[in-house]
Amino acid sequence: MNSRPRAALFDVDGTLVDTNYLHAVSWWEAFHQAGHRVAMTDIHHTVGMGSDRLLDRLLGEDRDRDGDEAVSCAHKAIYATWFDRLPVLDGAPGLLRALASRGWRIVLVTSAQGSELGALRRAIGADDVIHAATSADDVDSSKPAPDPVHQALEQAGTDAGRALFVGDTVWDVKAARAAGVDCVALQSGGIARAELEAEGAVAVYRDPADLLAGLDDSPFAGREREGER
């Protein structure tokens, strides 16, 4: 039997904390301040990428990049006004604790960093079961590149076959699959089931509470049963 631990890798924004639309509004205001007209729906569909990739997708790779840092800083400052009231998604802390009690090593995989990551972890309130967290600061390329997932596997001390990734965007699914890890997707980030399934999500749930309620029939339970054979 494989002696390596099982790892549950979790995206944070839109997966454990209900922040995708807060990010969309914050990016929209940052773009507006810089004189860019970007549709809110387009911004929403890029949430989950690192800021460098998000700017490439929304403003074009051939843009003048001199203003990128100002836009990113404006987004961070606007989003930071929400830090003391970030809404944790129903069932998120319970899901992490339930998986930890079943022997899964919990690792957060997020583009958030510094004070933003600290605020998200405070909102979740489950640091007692979180083994590690990897952020954009820890990797060369952000999601949908597989680098953050590879880093999380290293932090968990395991391999792709012993892990499952939980995310809410197509970028999460792409990053997980590129790293050889199956992705369980949640619709709590506002992305349709069909889009998540089309990218290869192995299961789709409404939100963390829905996954928690169905945990015994989920891909997590399936992996546990495989380990018992």
Q: What is the pLDDT of residues 45-61, one digit of tens each?
A: 999 888 889 999 999 99
Chosen domain end from 46, 66, 81: 81
- Report DSSP letters for 135-150, one per residue: -GGG-SS-TTSSHHHH
Closest CA to 132 of 115, 155, 165: 155
181 part of a folded domain = yes
Decide if 12 is inside a domain: yes
The structural domain count of the chain equals: 2
Q: Do 145 and 100 reside in the same domain of the chain? A: yes
Per-residue pLDDT tens for 154-211? 999 999 999 999 999 999 999 999 999 999 999 999 999 999 999 999 999 999 999 9
**Region 100-114: what's the mean pLDDT?**
94
Q: What is the dihedral of CA 117, 155, 174, 73, to 10 degrees?
A: 30
- Examine the domain organization and report whether 14 and 24 are in the same domain: no
One domain for residues 114 and 12: yes
Closest CA to 58 of 75, 83, 79, 78: 75
Shared-domain flag, residues 142 and 109 = yes
The answer to whether residue 186 sits within a structural domain is yes
Tell whether 67 and 139 lie within a shared domain: no
The answer to whether residue 199 is domain-embedded is yes
Residue 113: inside a domain:
yes
| 64-100 residue pLDDT tens | 899 999 999 999 999 999 999 999 999 999 999 999 9
Give the model's pLDDT for residue 46: 95
Which residues are bridge partners to 205 per DSSP? 186
**Same-domain pairing of 154 and 52:** no
**Per-residue pLDDT at 42 exceeds 50:** yes
* Orientation of helix 170-178 relative to helix 147-156, angle to 10°: 60
Q: Which one, of 74, 77, 41, lies nearest residue 58 by Cα?
A: 41
Q: How far apart are the first and last CA of the chain?
A: 9
Radius of gyration of the chain (CA): 17
Answer yes or no: do 67 and 96 share one domain.
no
Report percent pLDDT > 70 for the chain: 98
Query: Residue 1 domain-assigned?
Result: no
Examine the fold and report which residue of 64, 81, 98 is the final residue of a domain before the chain moves on.
81
Q: How far is CA 116 from CA 13, 70, 78, 121, 144, in A?
A: 11, 18, 12, 9, 20
Question: In the chain, what percentage of residues exceed pLDDT 90?
Answer: 86
Which of the two residues, 217 and 49, has the higher pLDDT score? 217
Q: What is the mean pLDDT of the chain?
A: 95
pLDDT category, 2, cuts 50, 70, 90?
Answer: low
H/E stretch holding 68 reads: helix 68-80
**102 and 66 share one domain:** no
Q: Do 27 and 14 share a structural domain?
A: no
pTM of whole model > 0.85?
Answer: yes
pLDDT score recorded for residue 58: 97
Q: Are residues 14 and 26 in the same domain?
A: no
Q: Is 31 helix (H, G, I), strand (E, B) or coil?
A: helix
Q: What pLDDT is recorded for position 229? A: 42
- Check whether 219 has a pLDDT greater than 60: yes
Q: Please tell me the predicted confidence (pLDDT) of residue 143.
A: 86
Confidence grade of residue 113 (pLDDT, cut at 50, 70, 90): confident
Length of the chain: 229
Give yes or no: residues 107 and 56 share one domain: no
Question: Is there a contact between 206 and 191 (Cβ–Cβ < 8 Å)?
Answer: no
Question: Tokens 């990551």 map to which residue?
Answer: 117
**H/E run at residue 212:** helix 208-213
The enclosing domain of 213 has a CATH number of 3.40.50.1000
- Domain range holding 96? 6-18+87-228
Decide if 70 is inside a domain: yes
| Domain-located, residue 213 | yes
- Other beta carbons within 10 angstroms of residue 2's beta carbon come to 11
Question: Domain check: are 64 and 137 in the same one?
Answer: no
User: 190 vs 19, 84, 98, 194, 204, CA distance in Å?
Assistant: 10, 23, 25, 12, 12
Q: With a cut of 60, say whether residue 1 has pLDDT above it.
A: no
